[in-house]
Structure 1
Amino acid sequence: MAVSQLFKKPLASLTLSILAIGAYQSAAAEDNFKLVLKNAFIERNYDNDSIKDPGSWSQGISGFYTSDYVPTVLTVADKPIEIGMDASLQYALRLSGDRHVDDTILPFDTVSKTQDRNFLKYGGTLKLKYDKTEFKIGELWLDLPITSTDASRQLLSSYWGGQVKSQVTDKFKVEFGRVERVSPRYEEKFHEFSYTVNGTKYFTDGLNYVDLKYDITPNLKAEYYYGDLEDLYDKHYLGLEYWWKGQNFKSQTRLKYFRSQDSGSSQAGEVDNHNLGLLEKVFVGNHTVALGYQQLFGDTGYPLPDGFLPELYFINWNTTGFFKKDEKSVHFLYGYDFKNYVPGLNALVKYVHGFDFKDGQGRDNRESETNFILGYDFQNPKSKIKRLIIPMVIY
């Protein structure tokens, strides 16, 4: 939180949620049905008594079905075209009372100032496969710049469109597609992408993208992404990841660069931003230590579509984001695996400090965020519950 506004804004907020996941394999050899039970208690506490504390307690139950590919009678070069179908059904029920404040967890009516009691999402995907190439149309679960699948709240965000993924060689992967609709993490239906500038919302017919991944060496991987939100802005991404393994430890280096700009005919006005990030992570025994740096520069801030769509491709995405115009941020992470004492138990603390950006009044500003995450992987292979996560965030 901005130091210059400590007496006007909340000093801190805290978020706590609990996640339990259960999954089981269906009778078919490859078909998979996963049942997810998620109990989420999310609370934000503000020191300023004039601001309502947002938050809610909800129980989610979701089912995700992924079918095996079944060969069809159609063949090309003696190889069959295969077909399959995926489906999802997500539901959540609010257990707490309505605080009449938007907490971005469950759908909220801004006119009546009421939060929905029930929350439902569903979708289906038709998929085809030939050799090492897949085609999908319908609901898409994407992990790319602009379009990431956000699991940080109650129900998952998803997208609607078509994609092609191909393993061209053992080292080279290609993915491209068109996404026309998005269902953000706290909205039920799919709708058009939009981008808000100075209170005005601008819409686009869709996102066209291509993503290329290449293994330069067994230890060095490269990725290039280009996405075009029609009539809004374009985004380029270039990433490098290098692993180095020593006798007693290993390290991971990530270098990420983003370039966002308007196409010249953008209805939303100028977009001009660069984002450069570097993260060095070292693994020694049960310890994990990471240090990162991220800097934004350009004439505008980093653009994000409406709907609280996070940019998980950042070197270390946080709840705060740290993507304001000209902002620099330093990231520190420490994790410990208690496998020698309590197998399956692990803990993580992450601290980020952002500085060198301006507030709404043009004053020097800075912000920070601390994350504490406790996780436990259940060791009984017959258990339906696989993982328990308890995160806490302090701004």
Structure 2
Amino acid sequence: MDIKLKPLVALIISNMALCAVAHAESNENQFKVVLKNAFIERNFDNDNIKDPGSWSQGISGFYQSKYIPTVLSIADKPIELGVDASLQYALRLSDDRHIDDTILPFDKNTQSQERHFLKYGGTFKVKYDTTELKVGELFLDLPITAVDTSRQLISSYWGGQLKSKLTDNLQLELGRITQVSPRYEEGFHEFSVTSKGVKHYSDGLNYLDFKYNVSPNLKAEYYYGDLEDLYDKHYLGFEYSWKNEHLKSKTQLKYFRSEDSGAAKAGEIDNHNIGLLETVFAGNHTLGLGYQQLFGDTAYPLPDGFLPELYFINWNATGFFKKDEKSVHLIYGYNFKDYAPGLNAAVKYVYGTDFKDALGRDNHESETNVMLAYDMQNPKLKGLSFRWLYINYDVEHGNSFQENRVFTTYTMKF
């Protein structure tokens, strides 16, 4: 497993993930240690609401073994075995605010933030030719099961995953995920959805995902997920890339369909979500314009645990996924490589309207993000990076707030 910090502009376009989990094949064992200092604080405009936040220091280790051929073979190709493992730990440095900030574990009985935060997992993997099976802890970048890296320790899932390259242009992934470890909880837990104050559990998520390269410039993806006893989700996406001597562009069209199976524990679910994002790259500049619209009889469903839907066109610190909500966003980013190599900056603005609050009043909301990222260029300091995210959220009927997130990360590879 490879964990790296993305450039800032790509960071915003991919819905503000502050670091990413990716899997890369290697002929060597890989071990990585990540030191992450995270300061996150939210200030509500309403003085009657306590301001959540914390300052913490994390240290995480990720091991990915190379594949070892066995004596077993099919058609003269060996079956290969390997193991992966992770250990994540964080220590709260700030005083206990006695409020759940969804960053560190929180004990509701004592109303206290935990001082220590520990996650760990292991994965057994088998490979044959272009097919790979993994069982255990999984880091999945898919609808429903995205990996949340925007706080301190990262989320993961428990189950089985099968990936196969069927042709040069077609890849199949399918799996069964039985548990989730959210970003602010230790251990693995059943999936659940809370409806009208009642928590409803699922035995697991069954999914399949097809990725197809229609042409060198056009990619398509179809996903189906069945969160047992809760709801089903379909996703269909297209991505078209184009470039010439001076410009590059990327067009993304995304459609989501969520519905209950007719006997869902959490009640009726009926929602559509369609989004379009156009991104243009010109030299050091990046400009993006997006539109997202939800329609149907209910709001867009999300599992408990603040699991993000990073496939969305508009996913921010606040999710623009209310019933019937329409939202537009504008992104501008600049790479300062000609003046200060390693420095990136970006601004994103999102405006959502045509939805109602809990009292049935017409409502609208907006969010502005300002982001800075710097990766040290000195070879002696390679792996050291800094990230700052400022969020200003404003809603007509609701709780407006401002938030700062500051991350200092040092990555060492062995």
TM-score, structure 2 as length reference? 0.88
The residue number in structure 1 matching 2:30 is 32
Match of 1:294 among 292, 295, 305: 292
The residue number in structure 1 matching 2:303 is 305
Task: Please list the CA deviations of residues 108-166 of structure 1 after superposition, one character each: whole Å capped at 9, or x if unmatched.
Answer: 11121111000000000000000011000000000000000000110000000000001
Sort the Cα spacing of 1:174 and 1:381 in 2 relative to 1 into closer, same or farther, 3 A: farther
Q: Secondary structure at the match of 1:103?
A: coil
1:234·1:261 contact (CA, 8 Å) conserved in 2?
Answer: yes
The residue number in structure 1 matching 2:75 is 77
The residue number in structure 2 matching 1:9 is none
Give the deviation of 1:87 after TM superposition: 0.3
1:20·1:387 contact (CA, 8 Å) conserved in 2?
Answer: no
Match of 2:217 among 216, 219, 228: 219
- Counterpart check, 1:67 vs 2:42: no
The residue number in structure 1 matching 2:152 is 154
2:19·2:149 contact (CA, 8 Å) conserved in 1?
Answer: no
Give, in whole Å, the separation in 2 of the partners of 1:132 and 1:184.
31
The residue number in structure 2 matching 1:322 is 320
Identity in percent: 72
1:192·1:206 contact (CA, 8 Å) conserved in 2?
Answer: yes
Match of 2:39 among 38, 41, 44: 41
Give, in whole Å, the separation in 1 of the partners of 2:19 and 2:216.
35
2:370·2:389 contact (CA, 8 Å) conserved in 1?
Answer: yes
Q: Counterpart amino acid of 2:375?
A: D
Q: How many residues align?
A: 373
The residue number in structure 1 matching 2:85 is 87
The residue number in structure 1 matching 2:406 is none
Sort the Cα spacing of 1:75 and 1:381 in 2 relative to 1 into closer, same or farther, 3 A: farther
2:314·2:320 contact (CA, 8 Å) conserved in 1?
Answer: no
The residue number in structure 1 matching 2:357 is 359
1:183·1:189 contact (CA, 8 Å) conserved in 2?
Answer: yes
- Counterpart check, 1:168 vs 2:166: yes
Q: Counterpart amino acid of 1:210?
A: L
Task: Please list the CA deviations of residues 234-292 of structure 1 after superposition, one character each: whole Å capped at 9, or x if unmatched.
Answer: 00000000001122101000000000000112111100000000000000110000000
Q: Counterpart amino acid of 1:378?
A: M
1:222·1:238 contact (CA, 8 Å) conserved in 2?
Answer: yes
Task: Please list the CA deviations of residues 44-77 of structure 1 after superposition, one character each: whole Å capped at 9, or x if unmatched.
Answer: 1122222111111000000111111010111011
User: Which shows bigger deviation, 40-49 or 128-137?
Assistant: 40-49
RMSD over equivalenced CA pairs, Å: 1.6
- Counterpart check, 1:196 vs 2:194: yes
2:314·2:327 contact (CA, 8 Å) conserved in 1?
Answer: no
Q: Secondary structure at the match of 1:48?
A: coil
- Counterpart check, 1:118 vs 2:116: yes
Give the deviation of 1:386 after TM superposition: 4.3
Give, in whole Å, the separation in 2 of the partners of 1:164 and 1:29.
20
Give, in whole Å, the separation in 2 of the partners of 1:20 and 1:258.
25
Task: Please list the CA deviations of residues 142-194 of structure 1 after superposition, one character each: whole Å capped at 9, or x if unmatched.
Answer: 00000000001100000000000011111100000000000000000101000
Match of 1:350 among 344, 348, 351: 348
Give, in whole Å, the separation in 2 of the partners of 1:171 and 1:187.
38
Give, in whole Å, the separation in 2 of the partners of 1:388 and 1:46.
25
Match of 2:226 among 225, 228, 247: 228
Match of 2:368 among 367, 370, 375: 370
Give, in whole Å, the separation in 2 of the partners of 1:254 and 1:224.
14
Give, in whole Å, the separation in 2 of the partners of 1:39 and 1:185.
15
Give, in whole Å, the separation in 2 of the partners of 1:184 and 1:20.
16
The residue number in structure 2 matching 1:5 is none
The residue number in structure 2 matching 1:180 is 178
Give, in whole Å, the separation in 2 of the partners of 1:289 and 1:47.
31
The residue number in structure 1 matching 2:392 is 394
The residue number in structure 1 matching 2:8 is none
Which runs of 5 or more residues in structure 1 are unaligned? 1-16, 22-27
Give, in whole Å, the separation in 1 of the partners of 2:342 and 2:236.
35
TM-score, structure 1 as length reference? 0.92
Q: Counterpart amino acid of 2:64?
A: T
The residue number in structure 1 matching 2:140 is 142
Task: Please list the CA deviations of residues 302-328 of structure 1 after superposition, one character each: whole Å capped at 9, or x if unmatched.
Answer: 000000000000013211110000001
Sort the Cα spacing of 1:82 and 1:346 in 2 relative to 1 into closer, same or farther, 3 A: same
